[in-house]
Amino acid sequence: MKIGFIGLGIMGKPMCKNLLKAGYEITAYDIFEKAVDEVVECGAARGTSNADVASKSDVIITMLPNSPHVKTAVLGEGGIIEGAKPGLVIVDMSSISPIASKEICETVEEKGCFFIDAPVSGGEPKAIDGTLAIMVGGRKEIFDKASELLDIMGGSVTHCGEIGAGNTTKLVNQIIVAVNIAAVSEALVFGKKAGVDPEAIYQAIRGGLAGSTVLDAKAPMMFDGNFNPGFRIDLHIKDLTNVLDTGHDVGASLPLSASVMEMMQWLKSKDLDKEDHSSLVKYFENLSGIDIRK
């Protein structure tokens, strides 16, 4: 099976490397040449365009920032469809609007190819060690065909339903993560303002019902003042934009998502949107006039 990989950013690069380590023949492409150079050094062939990658592949994985980027890569001039052979499978692992996934899939299938949405959760560390949570929407038989690749990149791989179900599930994930980080931030700042050591609070509550993966991953970053991005604020803003747009489309009320979006927009106004989403704590620190650093 010949694999194409398009999109070699923070997430895509280590995912591509894991497939190379597993022995797959990969043609890789990104608009940034340095990103391609790195995976070529690891054994990938260099693609010259999206269409070029498609002409050399049986399955293509895309890992791109947002819906317009995926539409351009797949359907635009010099896009995947231009170089695709009938039966090509496109596995879009970007986090985009489920509405966009359905639109892209419809056009791809008209061309005799296949498309599934397979967004991921876990950030850069889990992309590196191949333990991402992968949620998939699309035809079950196409999911089955791609599952051996997904298993290499993910610690858990779940078929969630028809096309768009993967991205809907990812948006659910992003709501929970965003609200959880905001809650952790508000609570720890409250504790510090009330005179209790935030680290002591963290150790006391992490084994109880308030404990969570988010708490364990993000509270130590807040204490250390380490906001190097595992998942950037601007990307979470993108996801919450898709949440709110999809919510409006399906008639779902999303007051908590809207509130956290406003907090993240404040961070963006302070040029903090390239930091990790754990920097949400800065919003609450600003309100209370303290910080929770060690």
Q: Any idea which residue has 């690891």 for tokens?
A: 42
Residue 63, both tokens: 């890992």
25-80: pLDDT as tens digits: 999 999 999 999 999 999 999 999 999 999 999 999 999 999 999 999 999 999 99
Contacts of 206 (CB under 8 A, 6+ apart): 215, 216, 219
Contacts of 144 (CB under 8 A, 6+ apart): none
Is residue 193 part of the annotated active site? The answer reads no
At 230, the pLDDT band (50, 70, 90 cuts) reads: confident
79-88: pLDDT as tens digits: 999 999 999 9
Q: Which domains does the chain have, with CATH numbers?
A: 2-162 (3.40.50.720), 168-288 (1.10.1040.10)
Contacts of 274 (CB under 8 A, 6+ apart): 229, 232, 233, 234
Instruction: Specify the pTM.
Output: 0.91
Which position among 13, 170, 218, 238 bears the catalytic label?
A: 170
